[in-house]
Structure 1
Amino acid sequence: MKKILVATDYSESAGNAVQYGVSLANHFGSLLSLVSAVEEPYSAAAGALVDIKDHIREEAMTTMGKVKEEVTPQLRNGATIDTHTVDGDPGPTITRVAKAKGYDLIVMGTKGSTAARELFTGSVANSVIKNSKLPVLAVPQQVAFHDFKRIVLSVDERPLASADVLRPLLDLVRAYKAELIVYHGDVDGDKKGYDPQLPTYLSGVNHRFEVRSGDTDKISTGIQKAVKLHSADLLCMIYHDHGFFGRLFNESTVSKVVFDSSVPLLVLQD
């Protein structure tokens, strides 16, 4: 995990994301990039449009410069930091930049929104999770920084494409010397359980399994209960891009957890 992108608009939620980015960069000796997407402002006059956009970009660079000054003394283990502004709608732009520049992880803040809970594409975080092929760490606005000591991995019945899907999570578990709790809610009662390869994939890290019966309409509630029960510092979920109907179901569950989570959420891409 040598290149970490922190997407920021410098709201309170973005500030929390920066702190998690710093911690990760320090553990892995990473390049930490602060990236701000500058959207096209609404204006009737073309000249005014250019002036406004330039002003927004200058403000973003100034703010990021101040954050860089604050963060630099906190870096260790060979970690470094740089800053960038890019033009475009934040969701697609962050996704494009992360892919083009070869980042290993995207970190971003989230804010709860009733409307966005109903529409998976209704937020920047959900847009990035849905369209990026990279792992995304979504940090809720209200969450103060904590080291990852206990992590809950929520899994369903679908098999993973390969062990590589879990590699970012396993890197975190090892780097933070965390305990991993694998939670599976048996929502349909068929007792098929999780991917039988999981124990093999997780060999070599401190982990244990927990299977509970559940209700199809309460998947996100069951996940949050597991997080609270185990006093987890991080929740991890897997976004499956397997088939239209399976994807819709997966999007709905991940979306609810993104906005309701009481801890940072790491979304892995399958």
Structure 2
Amino acid sequence: MKKIMVATDYSESANSSVQYGVSLANHFGSLLSLVSAVEEPYSAAAGALIDVKDHIRDEAMETMDKVKREVSGQLTSGATIDTHTVDGEPGPTITRVAKAKDYNLIVTGTKGSDAARELFTGSVANSVIKNSKLPVLVVPDKIPFREFRRILIAVDEKSLAGSHVLQPLIDVLSAYDAELIVYHGDEDGDGKGYDPRLGQYLGDVNHRFEVRSGKDDSIAEGIEQAVKLHDADLLVMIYHDRGFFGRLFNESTVSKVVFKSTVPLLVLQDV
């Protein structure tokens, strides 16, 4: 992961996203880009619109420079930092910039501050997850930073496009020397249902499987309970963009977890 984007509004709640971005950059020796999207404000007067937009952009750039100075002193192992302020609606703009600049990972939060006009809400995170082909790390509002020591990946019954889908996870496991728990909610109780190639794809990484009956709980609740039971530092899910109904179901489950998760959520793209 040589290029990491942190999409931030520089509110207090965005600090958690920045801290996780710094940690990842230090482990991988990455370029860490802090990116703020300036959405066009609503105004009936064209002149006022321009003035307000310029004010928001100037304020964002001023705060960006301050955060850059603070973060620069935290970078190690050859990691570097740059900043960008771009115009546009946050979700589509983040996705567009990440693709154009060949980033390897997007980090974003689930909530922005009122002062920043709540630009980075859960809906923005969901927009980035659904429209980007990159892995997305979603950091819940105001959680304390924790190193990744135990990671839980929740898998469903769908087969993966290939081993490349799990590569970002494998990279993180290796960089942090973390343990992996593969969790599957087995609704019909037959002990099966996940891609049988998962073990092969994971190779020599430190991992173990856990299959539980999910009859009495919703999928999202089962995942939440597994994270708490194992005291996981990171939750991983796979977003499958295949077919309308399958995608709709996948979006619903991921969205519920995004809003309820108490740990960062890494969403891998099955493409």
TM category (shorter chain) comes to over 0.9
Alignment of 1:1-270 (within 5 A): 1-111=1-111, 123-215=123-215, 218-270=218-270
- The number of residues matched between the two structures is 262
Tell me the residue number matched to 1:116.
Answer: none
Q: For the Cα contact (< 8 Å) 2:14–2:142, is it kept in 1?
A: no
Distance of 1:242 and 1:133 partners within structure 2: 13
Q: For the Cα contact (< 8 Å) 1:111–1:259, is it kept in 2?
A: no
Q: For the Cα contact (< 8 Å) 1:152–1:180, is it kept in 2?
A: yes
Distance of 1:14 and 1:7 partners within structure 2: 9
Tell me the residue number matched to 2:115.
Answer: none
Tell me by how many angstroms 1:51 deviates: 1.1
What secondary structure is seen at the aligned counterpart in 2 of 1:156? coil
What secondary structure is seen at the aligned counterpart in 1 of 2:5? strand
Question: Share of identical aligned residues, percent?
Answer: 77
Which contiguous aligned blocks of 4+ residues in structure 1 show a shift greater than 2 angstroms? 188-193
In structure 1, what residue type is equivalent to 2:218? K
TM-score normalised over the length of structure 2: 0.94
Q: For the Cα contact (< 8 Å) 2:191–2:211, is it kept in 1?
A: no
Distance of 2:122 and 2:8 partners within structure 1: 17
Distance of 1:216 and 1:187 partners within structure 2: 9
Distance of 1:217 and 1:92 partners within structure 2: 34
Tell me by how many angstroms 1:190 deviates: 4.7
Q: For the Cα contact (< 8 Å) 2:150–2:180, is it kept in 1?
A: yes
> How far does the alpha carbon of each residue in 1:176-221 deviate from its partner, in whole angstroms, 9 at most, with x for none?
0000000000123354321010000011100000000103861000
Q: For the Cα contact (< 8 Å) 1:12–1:141, is it kept in 2?
A: no
In structure 2, what residue type is equivalent to 1:150? R
> How far does the alpha carbon of each residue in 1:116-146 deviate from its partner, in whole angstroms, 9 at most, with x for none?
xxxxx96100110011100000000131100
What secondary structure is seen at the aligned counterpart in 2 of 1:161? coil
5+ residue gaps, structure 1, are 113-120
Question: Cα RMSD between the aligned structures?
Answer: 1.4
Distance of 2:193 and 2:60 partners within structure 1: 48
> How far does the alpha carbon of each residue in 1:46-71 deviate from its partner, in whole angstroms, 9 at most, with x for none?
11111111111010010010000000
Q: Are the structure 2 counterparts of residues 111 and 51 from structure 1 closer, same or farther at C-alpha, using a change threshold of 3 Å?
A: closer
> How far does the alpha carbon of each residue in 1:13-32 deviate from its partner, in whole angstroms, 9 at most, with x for none?
21110000000000000000
Q: For the Cα contact (< 8 Å) 1:13–1:139, is it kept in 2?
A: no
Distance of 2:13 and 2:155 partners within structure 1: 27
Tell me by how many angstroms 1:85 deviates: 0.5
Distance of 2:155 and 2:90 partners within structure 1: 29
Q: For the Cα contact (< 8 Å) 1:185–1:219, is it kept in 2?
A: yes
Q: For the Cα contact (< 8 Å) 2:151–2:232, is it kept in 1?
A: yes
